């Protein structure tokens, strides 16, 4: 078990190297130091000032130096400052995590519970009109672009019904719910279609298995069959999907944060994109990849808890 | 006279096919007394498994029981509520299945599955249930029952798994045991052991067994009476001697003749030409007509009724009817 | 300017490709049965897709001439069949409501009163015209991206699965690396690096999407490699390439079809999001939706622009998703179920 963990971590580390390399290539290819300087300092700045900026940020050094610097700093989590406004990136990260989590976690939890419950229900009634209707609704929901959900809800709720503020954020727990209600609602509704389809497929497959027949034959009620037998066996694919989604809780949703004015990590990323702020973008992508790799390893280990047939060697 | 343990009358179970519904069990009647072993015999697809599942109302969607009457120890099974049916399953009537590999929940310990079977029907403490399970394991011949309790299905051999299934089924001392091809997936030596186990249990607690199988060797070992099914209907029924020694229906005769051990060296194996028609595409008249070596004109247009041959021996065949002097 | 010639050539090529595909499908019992089953289960969705494809193709065939009373610049710009369905000089000055006779703001009379079924946008362009042209972009996004994804994934997936060893290690490493980077972020990074033209966007989406499919192909190839008839072919001395082409590839084709359809809707929706962030493709429905964002804030609201693009996008994605589900049910042997 320890050996396996070490090996996976080592491989994960190698992958991280690969990710960093790829990132460097992408950003090095694109980075035009003069452009970056102009954007940061100002279009009309004199060349001398621009050159100074480039020097200060190290964008004029040979690429080998920049490469080594890139690796060393990323791996030591020395993120430096944003190209756009000189704010330390690490501080941005710290400040952005809270707001992001404040809506991604409820969205995730609610989406999971709702998705699994609805899918169990629909899968139990498979082949009947309940099932068919559920699937059709799921496909309809999936086919609407998230943009439309956002725009539609902002218009509906904001302009017409005026239940919640259209955008804005206040970490005060007394008013926070009002600001994150819409984002959570959108997040859940936009995702429920895809979730339902996925979970339903898994449950339907499990429900048709022999051990379910045995359970019924020994007197298990349908509720217990679905909630205990089927669910427990369906956990592996579900777990994979769930754990893989966790990294995204932190990176936030770019669109939702940008639309609803939530100052989370997603908003940071969007600003970085629009401002061509490489330092920040680089860090965001790196963090995302790191979290993903870590949680992949975590997933493997949770398998052993859930399925006695899985033995990691 | 007390009611028979199981009385199935004109059972019809259908599945959707080509837009409408086809009967995979088409007017089947079965009679089983307590302490008796009735073998339900036939080729794959003849509807014997569906008949068994229908008795416990376990027909998988989208199939359903259309008509017929099922009486278990005098009670009308069809009239029971969902909850009442749940209480019957596993307690009054239990079922074991063909594939021990997949019939047990892979993420649950073997012992826990039997404990579940007990605690679904009786209020016992976990400790008591565990003790009873270990005892059951011993009685069905599972070596080292204490440690086997905590084993997961994938850690057990096929034979042991099947014994676990039997333990599960017997945990509430049911009056009726339905065994659907209990030995088909097992090695021959294990087969013999399981059959021995079933016989022992039958002798000891007077349980009635409905044995579903296509293996005539198994039938010979265990059955008191035999019902032969073909294409969703009963072709012949009688005591073991009646059917095995004095078969009258051409299908039964063909089945028995095709047993490899009956073949004479150097001669080609006997076979029944043709294939079983699929549900929904049954020919009118006798369903065996297209493959029957004794077919007459009447067979193609008219479905045969039962002809009594002996005290418990009946066949559904026009030729047999003619032989017995009935028009 | 020569772009339109390339476009016409591509349409011709597509026609030829379609003919070959139809012939191949007809010759295979499995595929023609599957096709027939698909037509039986999803006639409406298939019809809808056919309409979209028709419109998209019509917009891809264009040439330059001065017919139809075209003046000035328009006489030297290639116009497609869709363009020609609309009268010359159809553009107004600014917004107008559907079927309106006057401009939305100010009430000045229109050049073509009552002729704009879906009204006009901020530049006065006919919304119906723009919406129809969006079909071509959507098909381009879905089609071109899949065209990049599928060969890439097949190449890497089958090599890794079949050859194993070092090749597999290398491919798996590449897959792991790419898969670790959050899709949207990688996509954005690629587009910033490659540029913002339609081809670059499609390439970027292709690069981010091939990994998932490659993993599936790799897994499937592993399984197929161990099958008896592949072992038999090897024993008979067939060359590796022949085995892969004749035994492995046909048996992953069903995955190709399923993936193609599922990928299609995914990429079109992704492009809409990219348009939102300002890095999408010009003329796409996503861009129209993006432009329409603040129109809803006005009073009275301008909704027709958004409505047209949204409905067009929604119906296409819905049709593709419906077909995709049916295709997956039909082709995946494990989920083959009687459609009641």
C337 and B CB contact within 8 Å: no
Domain that holds residue B69: 6-92+174-323
Contact B61 A211 (CB under 8 A): no
HSE value, Cβ hemisphere, 13 Å, CA-based, for C266: 19
Average pLDDT, chain C: 84
CA–CA distance, B1 with C122 (Å, rounded to integer) = 93
B56 found inside a domain: yes
Assess whether pLDDT exceeds 90 at residue C312. Answer: yes
**How confident is the model at residue C314, as a pLDDT?**
95
pLDDT above 70 coverage of chain C, percent: 94
**How confident is the model at residue A312, as a pLDDT?**
60
Assess whether pLDDT exceeds 70 at residue B326. Answer: no
A156 and C CB contact within 8 Å: no
How much is the ipTM here?
A: 0.86
CB contacts < 8 A, A to B, total 79
pLDDT above 70 coverage of chain B, percent: 98
Assess whether pLDDT exceeds 90 at residue B12. Answer: yes
Assess whether pLDDT exceeds 80 at residue B189. Answer: yes
Structural domains of chain B, count: 1
HSE value, Cβ hemisphere, 13 Å, CA-based, for B125: 3
Contact A148 C310 (CB under 8 A): yes
B72 found inside a domain: yes
Contact C185 A146 (CB under 8 A): no
**How confident is the model at residue A45, as a pLDDT?**
77
Q: What is the mean pLDDT of residues A113-134?
A: 87
Assess whether pLDDT exceeds 50 at residue C232. Answer: yes
B111 found inside a domain: no
B303 found inside a domain: yes
Q: Please, is B90 exposed, middle or buried when counting C-beta atoms within 10 Å of its C-beta (0-12, 13-18, 19+)?
A: buried
**Residue B14 forms beta bridges with which residues?**
B23, B64
State the nearest Cα–Cα gap between C340 and chain B, in angstroms: 7
Query: Which residue from B minimizes the CA distance to A232?
Result: B107
B64 found inside a domain: yes
Residues of C whose CB is below 8 A from A142:
321
Residues of B with CB under 8 A from a CB of C: 16, 62
Among all chains, which residue has been given the structure tokens 């579900």? A238
Comparing A140-149, A287-296, C223-232, the range with the smallest average pLDDT is: C223-232
CB A300 within 8 A of CB A240: no
B54 found inside a domain: yes
Q: Which partners does chain C have (≥3 C-beta pairs < 8 Å)? A: A, B
Show contacts of B251-255: CB within 8 Å, 24+ apart. B251/B288, B251/B291, B251/B292, B252/B228, B252/B315, B254/B291, B254/B293, B255/B41, B255/B216, B255/B228
Q: What is the pTM of this model?
A: 0.81
B114 found inside a domain: no
Q: Which residues 38-67 of B have a C-beta within 8 angstroms of A? A: 56, 58, 60-62
Mutate to test the interface with A, among C42, C195, C276, C334 (most CBs of A within 10 A): C276
Assess whether pLDDT exceeds 90 at residue A147. Answer: no
Assess whether pLDDT exceeds 50 at residue C336. Answer: no
Query: Which residue from B minimizes the CA distance to A236?
Result: B107
**How confident is the model at residue C313, as a pLDDT?**
94
The CA–CA distances, whole Å, from C155 to A142, A229, B325, C168, C239 equal 31, 40, 75, 12, 17
CB C185 within 8 A of CB A293: no
C338 and B CB contact within 8 Å: yes
Rg of chain A on CA atoms, in Å: 24
**How confident is the model at residue C66, as a pLDDT?**
67
Residues of A whose CB is below 8 A from C179:
292
Q: What is the mean pLDDT of residues A219-234?
A: 89
Residues of B whose CB is below 8 A from A209:
102
pLDDT band at B234 (very low <50, low <70, confident <90, very high): very high
B105 found inside a domain: no
* Segment of A294-303, B93-102, C62-71 carrying the highest mean pLDDT: B93-102
Q: Which segments of chain A does DSSP mark as H helices, in order?
A: 2-30, 33-41, 47-57, 63-75, 89-124, 129-143, 146-153, 176-207, 210-217, 222-224, 231-251, 254-260, 265-274, 278-306
Contact A219 B168 (CB under 8 A): no
Assess whether pLDDT exceeds 80 at residue C338. Answer: no
Among all chains, which residue has been given the structure tokens 């030297």? C76
CATH number at residue B87: 3.40.50.300
Assess whether pLDDT exceeds 80 at residue A39. Answer: no
Q: pLDDT digits over B37-96, tens only?
A: 999 998 888 889 999 999 999 998 778 899 999 999 888 998 899 899 999 998 999 999
Q: What is the mean pLDDT of residues B291-309?
A: 86
Instruction: Please give the residue that has the higher pLDDT: either B308 or B265.
Output: B308
pLDDT band at B239 (very low <50, low <70, confident <90, very high): very high
Q: pLDDT digits over B131-149, tens only?
A: 999 999 988 889 999 999 9
Instruction: Please give the residue that has the higher pLDDT: either C33 or C3.
Output: C33
Domains of chain C: 3-85 (no CATH), 91-122 (no CATH), 144-300 (1.10.3720.10)
Contact A219 B87 (CB under 8 A): yes
**How confident is the model at residue C340, as a pLDDT?**
25
């Amino acid at each position: 078990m320890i050996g396996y963990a070490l090996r996976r971590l080592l491989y994960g580390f190698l992958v991280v190297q690969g990710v960093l390399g790829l990132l460097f290539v992408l950003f090095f290819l694109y980075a035009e130091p003069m452009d970056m300087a102009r954007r940061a300092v100002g279009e009309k700045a004199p060349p001398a000032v621009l050159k100074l900026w480039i020097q200060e940020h190290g964008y004029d050094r040979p690429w080998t130096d920049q490469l080594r610097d890139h690796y060393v700093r990323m791996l030591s989590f020395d993120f430096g400052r944003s190209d756009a406004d000189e704010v330390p990136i690490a501080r941005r990260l710290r400040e952005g995590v809270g707001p992001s989590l404040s809506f991604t976690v409820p969205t995730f939890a609610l989406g999971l519970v709702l998705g699994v419950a609805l899918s169990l229900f629909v899968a139990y009634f498979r082949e009947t009109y309940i099932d068919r209707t559920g699937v059709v609704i799921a496909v309809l929901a999936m086919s609407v672009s998230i943009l439309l959900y956002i725009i539609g809800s902002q218009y509906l709720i904001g302009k017409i019904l005026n239940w919640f503020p259209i955008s804005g954020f206040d970490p005060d727990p007394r008013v926070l719910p009002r600001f994150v209600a819409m984002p959570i609602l959108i997040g859940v509704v936009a995702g429920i279609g895809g979730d339902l389809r996925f979970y339903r497929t898994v449950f339907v497959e499990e429900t048709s298995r022999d051990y379910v027949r045995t359970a019924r034959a020994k007197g298990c009620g349908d509720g217990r069959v679905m909630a205990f037998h089927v669910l427990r066996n369906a956990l592996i694919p579900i777990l994979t999907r769930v754990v893989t989604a966790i990294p995204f809780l932190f990176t936030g949703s770019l669109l939702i944060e940008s639309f609803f004015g939530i100052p989370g990590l997603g908003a940071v990323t969007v600003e970085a994109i629009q401002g061509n702020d490489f330092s920040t973008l680089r860090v965001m992508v790196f963090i995302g990849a790191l979290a993903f790799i870590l949680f992949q390893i975590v997933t493997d280990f949770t398998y052993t808890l859930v399925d006695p047939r899985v033995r990691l060697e | 006279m007390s009611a028979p343990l199981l009385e199935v009358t004109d059972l019809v179970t259908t599945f959707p096919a080509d837009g409408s519904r086809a009967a995979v069990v088409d007017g089947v009647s079965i009679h089983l007394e307590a302490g008796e072993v009735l073998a339900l015999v036939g080729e794959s697809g003849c509807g014997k498994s569906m008949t068994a599942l229908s008795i416990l109302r376990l027909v998988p969607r989208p199939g359903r029981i259309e008509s017929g009457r099922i009486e278990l120890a005098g009670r009308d099974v069809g009239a029971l509520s969902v909850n009442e049916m749940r209480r019957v399953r596993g307690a009054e009537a239990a079922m074991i299945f063909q594939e021990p590999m997949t019939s047990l929940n892979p993420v649950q310990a073997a012992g826990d599955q039997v404990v579940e079977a007990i605690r679904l029907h009786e209020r016992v403490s976990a400790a008591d249930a565990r003790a009873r399970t270990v005892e059951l394991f011993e009685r069905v011949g599972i070596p080292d029952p204490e440690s086997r309790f905590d084993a997961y299905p994938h850690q057990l051999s096929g034979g042991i798994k099947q014994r676990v299934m039997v333990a599960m089924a017997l945990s509430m001392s049911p009056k009726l045991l339905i065994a659907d091809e209990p030995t088909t997936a097992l090695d021959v030596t294990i087969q013999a052991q399981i059959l021995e186990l079933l016989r022992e249990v039958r002798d000891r607690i007077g349980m009635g067994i409905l044995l579903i199988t296509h293996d005539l060797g198994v039938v010979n070992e265990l059955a008191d009476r035999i019902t032969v099914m073909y294409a969703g209907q009963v072709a012949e029924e009688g005591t073991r001697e009646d059917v095995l020694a004095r078969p009258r229906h051409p299908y039964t005769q063909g089945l028995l003749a095709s047993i490899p051990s009956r073949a004479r060296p150097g001669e080609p194996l006997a076979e029944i030409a043709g294939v079983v028609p699929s549900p929904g595409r049954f020919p009118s008249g006798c369903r065996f007509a297209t493959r029957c070596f004794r077919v007459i004109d009447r067979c193609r247009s008219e479905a045969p009724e039962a002809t009594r041959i002996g005290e418990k021996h009946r066949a559904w065949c026009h030729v047999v009817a003619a032989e017995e002097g009935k028009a | 300017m020569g772009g339109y010639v390339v476009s016409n050539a591509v349409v011709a090529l597509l026609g030829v490709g379609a003919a070959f595909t139809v012939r191949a499908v007809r010759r295979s019992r499995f595929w023609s049965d599957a096709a027939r089953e698909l037509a039986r289960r999803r006639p409406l969705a298939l019809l809808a897709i056919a309409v979209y494809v028709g419109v998209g193709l019509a917009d891809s065939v264009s040439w330059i001439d001065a017919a139809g009373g075209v003046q000035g610049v328009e006489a030297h710009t290639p116009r497609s069949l869709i363009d020609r369905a609309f009268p010359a000089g159809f553009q107004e000055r600014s917004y107008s409501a559907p079927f309106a006779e006057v401009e939305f703001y100010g009430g000045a009379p229109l050049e073509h009163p009552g002729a704009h079924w879906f009204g006009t946008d901020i530049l006065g362009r006919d919304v119906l015209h723009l919406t129809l042209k969006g079909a071509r972009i959507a098909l381009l996004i879905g089609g071109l991206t899949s065209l990049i994804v599928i060969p890439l994934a097949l190449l890497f997936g089958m090599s890794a699965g079949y050859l194993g060893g070092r090749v597999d290690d290398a491919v798996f490493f590449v897959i792991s690396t790419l898969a670790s980077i959050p899709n949207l972020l990688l996509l954005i990074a690629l587009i910033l690096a490659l540029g913002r033209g339609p081809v670059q966007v499609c390439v970027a989406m292709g690069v981010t999407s091939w990994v998932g499919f490659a993993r599936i192909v790799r897994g499937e190839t592993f399984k197929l490699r161990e099958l008896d008839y592949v072992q038999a072919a090897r024993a008979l001395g067939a060359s590796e390439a022949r085995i892969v082409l004749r035994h492995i590839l046909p048996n992953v084709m069903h995955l190709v079809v399923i993936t193609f359809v599922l990928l299609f809707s995914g990429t079109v929706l992704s492009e809409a999001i990219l348009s939102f962030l300002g890095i999408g493709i010009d003329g796409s429905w996503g861009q129209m939706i993006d432009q329409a964002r603040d129109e809803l804030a006005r009073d009275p609201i301008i909704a027709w622009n958004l409505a047209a693009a949204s409905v067009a996008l929604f119906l296409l994605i819905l049709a593709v998703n419906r077909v995709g589900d049916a295709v997956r049910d039909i082709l995946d042997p494990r989920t083959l179920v009687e459609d009641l």
